[in-house]
Chain A
Amino acid sequence: MIRLFVVLLKNLPGIIAGSLIGLLISTGPALAQFPERPITLITPYAAGGSHDLNARVFTTYIQRYLGQPIVIKLVPGQAGQKGTLEAVQAQPDGYTLIFTDNYRDQLYQHTFGTRHYDTTEDLVAVARVNYGQVGIIVRGDSPYRTWADFEADARAHPGELKMSHSGLWAAFFVAGAQIMKDRGLRLRMVPYRGGGPAKAALLAGDVDVSAAFPATILSDVEAGLIRILATAGSERTIPDVPSLAEVGVSPSTGYMHRAVMAPRATPADRIARLRAAFAQLQSDPDYQAAMAQLGENTEYLDGEPYEAERRALGREYAELAAAIAAL
C-alpha cells in the first residue's frame, strides 16, 4: 500500500500531465462540430428486410455529407417495439437515431398497445427517406379484370375472398384493412411471412387478391402473371390503373414511409445538421443510381413537413384500428 503510494507520488507530474491530455482529448471534440464520431442507426427490423436494404444503401453514401459513418444496429423484436424503446431511451445527443416506418411510428400504439413510450412525443423526424407505394394485385388469369369486378365480387361474397398479406398490421395488411373499412367489405386475411411468400400464395392461386410494391413485381406484370388493380395515393402512377382514391379508399394509406428519427430532446442544431445531410444526399448521383437499381424511389421529405404528415397519419390510423377491431 505504501509502496503504491510512493510510486504514485514519484510519478505525480506525469499522472497530472497525462490526465490533462486525456481530458483535453475527451472534451476537445465536444467543442468541434457535430458529428465527430460515428452515429448509430437503430433499425427495428430483422436483417434482410427492405428497411435493412434501404439503410445499407443510404448509410453508405451519407457519410460523404456527415463526415462520419452511420452504423446500422438491428434491434428486431416485439413488432418493432424493442428497437423503438431503445431509441426513445437513448442519450438525446444526435448519436442515436432510428430508422422506422409510419406503422411502427403511428399505428402500433392502437393495435399492439405500446405501453412504454409515445412515439409522437418522444421522437422527432429527421427525414423521410423514401416510401413504398402499395398496389393491389391479382393473378394474371384472375376473373377480376378491373377494380370494379373485384369489389362487386367481394361485396357479393362477404368474408369469402382471400387476401394474402405480409403479417399482422404490416404494410399489405394495412392496405387491405383500409379497403375493408372505406368500402365496407370483408376479406379473409391470410398472413404470410413477408411479401415474398404472400406473392407466392397469389401466384399459386391459394388466395384471390394480394398486395405488393409495384416496383418489385415489374417482371411478373410484364410476363402477364400479375395484374395491378389499383395503386395507393390520389394520383395515378401507372396509366390505366386507377389510384385507390379514385375507387374510394383513403389516399394516405397504402404508403410505407421510411423515416429517420431522433429522440425529441436532441439539440436543435444537431437535428438541423442531420436534416441538412439528408437534403444534400438527394443530389448524390451514386445514391440515386443505387436506389433506382434497388427499385426504390428517393421521394425524400424533410423532417419538418413530415412531422405534420405523421400526426395526420396517426389520427387516421386510430380510426382504422377502431374500425377493424369492431369487425
Chain B
Amino acid sequence: MLEALLAGFEAALRVDTFVWVSAGLLLGMLMGAMPGFTTTMGMSVLMPVAFLVGDPLIGIPFLIGVYKGGIYGGSVPAILISMPGTAASVVTVMDGHELTKKGQARKALDMGLAASVISDFISDLLTIVLIIPVAAIVLGFGPPEIAAIMFMSLVIVAVTATGPVLKGLLMLGVGFWLSFVGADPFSAMERYTFGTTELYDGFHLIPMLIGLFALPEIFNAVRTGDRQRGRIASLVGERLSWPELKASLRTIFRSTGIGTAVGLVPGLGQTVAAMMGYIAAKNASKHPETFGKGDIDGVAAAESANNAVNGPTMVPLLTLGIPGDNVTALLLGAFMMQGLRPGPTLFETSGSIVFAILIVMLFANLIFWVIGYYTIPLFSRVVTIKKSLLIPITIMLAFTGTYLARSNPFDLITLIGFGVLGLAARRASFDVMPMVMGFILGRELEYSFGQTVSLAGDNFLQFALTERLGMTAIVVATPILGTLIGLRMNRLRRQELIRGG
C-alpha cells in the first residue's frame, strides 16, 4: 500500500490537474454562494465536463474541487446577507451575520475560510492515512446508532438553547413537529397535508432557512432606514488576526474531529456535522452566552465541522462503494466513468491512481486557501453596497434561490410563511435555531428510529440489550449528559447575571 501511495504522490504532481482543481474550486464557490443552487446541483451540471475530459486525474479532482468549494461558498452569503447558500452553512448564519452587523464581516469571512481550509486539510490527511483500516468500522454505524445519536443531539440542543429554557424547548418542539409534515417514509401515509399535494414532501429546507434567517434581516434593514449611512455595516472591518485564529484553533480541531466522524457514516452530511460542531463548541466555551450574538468561535465551529465531512465521505465511497448522499453518488458515477470501480477491490486494482486523486484533494486545500484569500476582499465589499441597492438584490436572491432549489412555486409561499414566522419569533425574542435543528434532526430521528423498529422486530428489548449495545449505551448516557450540561449552562448563566450586576 505504501508503494501505491508513493506512486500516487508522483502521479499527482501535474500542472494541468491543479489548474482543473482550481477551476472546480472557483466554480464550486460561486455556485455555493448562490442561494438555492446546491453543491449537488452544481456537480450534476458539471458532470459531463468531467467525463468528456476522460482523464481520471482531471475529471475527478475537478468535481472534488466543486464539492469543497461549494460547501465553503455557502458560508459567504450566510455571513454577509444572512442567507445560507447551501444547507451546510445554516449554522454559520448565527454568528457570521451578527459579526457582519457589528462591522466585522471581513473577520467572519476570514475565519470561515481559515476554518474550512484547516479542517479540510486535516480531514483529508486522516482520510488518506485511515482509508484502509477504518473501512470496516464504518459499517458498525447502522440506523440504531444513528437514531441514538440524533436523540442525544436533540436533548443537547434543548439544554444549550440560548435564553429561557422553556422558549428553547418550545421552538425545538415546533421544529420537530414541522418535520413530520408530509408523507411518512414507511407507509406513505400523509400527515398534516390537508389533502394537498404541495405538502406531500413536507417543508423544503431551503425556503425554510431563507425565510427564517434572511427575510427578517431584510425587513429589519428596511425598518432601520438610513442609519450607518444606508449600509448594512459601516465598514468591512479588520482582518482576522493570528491571536484570534489561535484562540479558535481548539474549536477548529474539535469540529474537525466531529466532522470527520460524521463524514465516515454514510448519509449524515454536512448540516448535521455543522450543528454538532457548533453545539460542542458552545458547550466547551467559557462564555456560551455570546454564541449566537456574533462570536467568532461560532463561525469557526460551524465552518470547520461542515468542511471536515467532505474528505471522509470518500472512505465508505471508495472502500465499500457506498455513496451516502447525492454528492457522493455523483462522485461514484465520476469514478466509474473513468474506469475506476469503487469497492473492496479498488485499492488492489488501481491503488496508485486513487491515492493520486486523494493527494490532489489534499493539496487542493492550499489552492482553496489562495483563491479564498483573493476573493474575500471582493466578497466582503458587499456590506458597503448601499442598502437601497442591496435590499432589492437580496430579496431577488431569496426568491430566485428558493425557486431554483426544486422549481416548486409552492416553496415561495413557504418562504414567505417562514419569513413571517421568523419575524414574529424575533419580535418575541424566540431563538429560531432550535426550531431549525428540531426540523433537521427530527427527520433523521424519525427515519432512523423507524428503521430501528423495523430491524428489531417483535422483541425490541432483546434487540437493544443483545445486538445493539452501542445504541443502548448512548440512549442511557443521554439524560446524564443532558443534566450535566444543563447544570453547567445554568451555573454560567447565573455567574453572568452576577457579573452583569
Within 8 A of B (CB), among A286-309: 290, 293-295
Contact in complex: A75, B406 (CB < 8 Å): yes
Set of chain A residues within 8 Å of B408, measured between Cβ atoms: 77, 82
Contact A194 to B323, CB < 8 A, known contacts A79-B188, A168-B186, A223-B344: yes
For the complex, is B455 an interface residue (Cβ under 8 Å from A)?
Answer: yes
Set of chain B residues within 8 Å of A115, measured between Cβ atoms: 197
Q: Report how far A43 CA is from B38 CA in the complex, Å.
A: 17
The distance from the CB of B41 to the nearest CB of chain A, in whole angstroms, is 5
Cβ-defined partner of B454 (8 Å) among A79, A188, A196, A200: A188
Contact in complex: B188, A197 (CB < 8 Å): no
Contact in complex: A222, B337 (CB < 8 Å): no
Contact in complex: A196, B326 (CB < 8 Å): no
Q: Which residue in chain B gives the minimum CB-CB distance to A116?
A: B197
Contact in complex: B266, A196 (CB < 8 Å): yes
Count of interface residues, chain B, beta-carbon cutoff 8 Å: 57
For the complex, is A199 an interface residue (Cβ under 8 Å from B)?
Answer: yes
Q: Which residue in chain B gives the minimum CB-CB distance to A189?
A: B454
Q: Report how far A82 CA is from B454 CA in the complex, Å.
A: 29
Cβ-defined partner of A217 (8 Å) among B142, B321, B406, B454: B321
For the complex, is B345 an interface residue (Cβ under 8 Å from A)?
Answer: yes
Contact in complex: B454, A77 (CB < 8 Å): no
Contact in complex: B455, A56 (CB < 8 Å): no
Set of chain B residues within 8 Å of A223, measured between Cβ atoms: 343-345
For the complex, is A10 an interface residue (Cβ under 8 Å from B)?
Answer: no
Set of chain A residues within 8 Å of B197, measured between Cβ atoms: 78, 81-82, 115-116
Set of chain B residues within 8 Å of A222, measured between Cβ atoms: 344-345
Contact A53 to B324, CB < 8 A, known contacts A160-B457, A188-B457, A293-B338: no
Q: Which residue in chain B gives the minimum CB-CB distance to A190?
A: B454
Contact in complex: B266, A220 (CB < 8 Å): no
Cβ-defined partner of A53 (8 Å) among B47, B447, B457: B47
Contact in complex: A60, B48 (CB < 8 Å): yes
Q: Which residue in chain B gives the minimum CB-CB distance to A286?
A: B52
The distance from the CB of A310 to the nearest CB of chain B, in whole angstroms, is 23
Cβ-defined partner of A73 (8 Å) among B183, B407, B454: B407
Set of chain A residues within 8 Å of B47, measured between Cβ atoms: 53, 56
Contact A78 to B329, CB < 8 A, known contacts A47-B41, A191-B185, A200-B316: no
Contact in complex: A190, B451 (CB < 8 Å): yes
Q: Report how far A223 CA is from B135 CA in the complex, Å.
A: 14
The distance from the CB of A54 to the nearest CB of chain B, in whole angstroms, is 9
Mark B residues whose CB is within 8 Å of A: 38, 40-41, 43-44, 47-48, 51-52, 138-140, 142-143, 183, 185-188, 197, 200-201, 266-267, 316, 320-330, 332-333, 336-339, 341-346, 406-408, 447, 450-451, 454-455, 457
| 8 more A-B residue pairs beyond the given contacts A47-B43, A52-B330, A191-B454, with a C-beta to C-beta distance below 8 A | A47-B330, A60-B48, A74-B44, A77-B408, A111-B188, A200-B316, A206-B143, A219-B345
Q: Which 9 A-B pairs have the closest CB atoms?
A: A219-B343, A48-B326, A223-B344, A204-B139, A47-B44, A196-B323, A78-B200, A48-B329, A53-B333
